[in-house]
Amino acid sequence: MSTQPHVIEVSEATFQKEVIQRSHEVPVLVDFWAAWCGPCRMLTPVLEGLAKEGGGRWILAKVNTDQNQQLSARYGIRGIPNVKAFRDGAVVDEFVGALPRPRVQAFLDKILPNAQDAQLTQATALIDADDYVAARPLLEGILAAAPDHDGANLALARVELAEGHVERALAHLDAIPARGPLGDAAQQLRARAHFAGDSASSLDELKAKVSANPDDWEQRFALAQAAVPLGDYAVAAEQFLAILQRDPQWQEGAARQGMLDLLTIMGEEDPRSADYRKRMSWLLFA
């Protein structure tokens, strides 16, 4: 075991704390290895040497695949050595095999924070504070230098959507690879874009109209559309599902698409998602 402070052994019991949580502070490279693996022994001194030179800018976490088989299965380890880079709790890049030092250094250079990352962090904080005017030039500056910067495209899409520019937001989201690290976040924001725009009526007014005339499917759909941006997912789901129960193909599948977008926004972690998905499947395919 290495005695370096920036090289640690992790297990299934410590992975959440030492990798997932710590990666919100500094990048963590996870080296999935085994004692019998010859290429692993070749890569180890390269990784540990770079970790020492890094001086804490990133952490090397070593996972013995023989001793942590469930963890290895969770991350789809099929060949070793497999090195996965974690930032902000998620895998952002990886490589398999014993790469030479220059290629490992190039890999590190891609995932270590740089000036653009600092700008993105600043811009994201401004967006979270609803200061879209100040965030915009920072993000546009990043994209001027790196048009394919996924993080900047995602953040600028948030700005455009907040300011009502749906088509501009979608253009930035389309630039993000669906299978990349930010693919799921882009898909979720794209679903939110489908609900953008101010309703002509307030939520209470729409609820009153639906209560007065439950067979007014246009008003039910309008209520669902208005409820999603306000986070009232239960109201939206019940309206979409009611329309699907009446006619799964209503308005060329508008309620079906609305329900799919809502489920994307809610995510699988929402305990209601499984029930809504089951009810939707029953209405569409029973």
How far, in Å, are 112, 186, 250 from residue 81 at the CA level? 21, 30, 52
SS3 198: coil
Q: Beta-carbon neighbour count of residue 63 at 10 Å? A: 25
Q: Annotate 115-143 with b (16+ C-beta within 10 A) or e (fewer).
A: ebbebbeebbebbeeeebeebbebbeebb
31 annotated active-site: no
Which one is catalytic: 29, 40, 63, 243?
40
Q: Are 67 and 61 in contact (CB under 8 A)?
A: no
**178/188 Cα distance (integer angstroms):** 11
271 exposure class (CB count in 10 Å sphere: 0-12, 13-18, 19+): exposed
Q: Are 31 and 72 in contact (CB under 8 A)?
A: no
Which one is catalytic: 29, 37, 223, 283?
37
148 annotated active-site: no
> What DSSP designation does 33 have?
E
Q: Are 59 and 85 in contact (CB under 8 A)?
A: no
Which residues partner with 60 through β-bridges? 7, 29
Q: Are 119 and 142 in contact (CB under 8 A)?
A: yes
How far, in Å, are 128, 153, 156, 204 from residue 168 at the CA level? 20, 11, 9, 31
| Residues tagged active-site | 37, 40
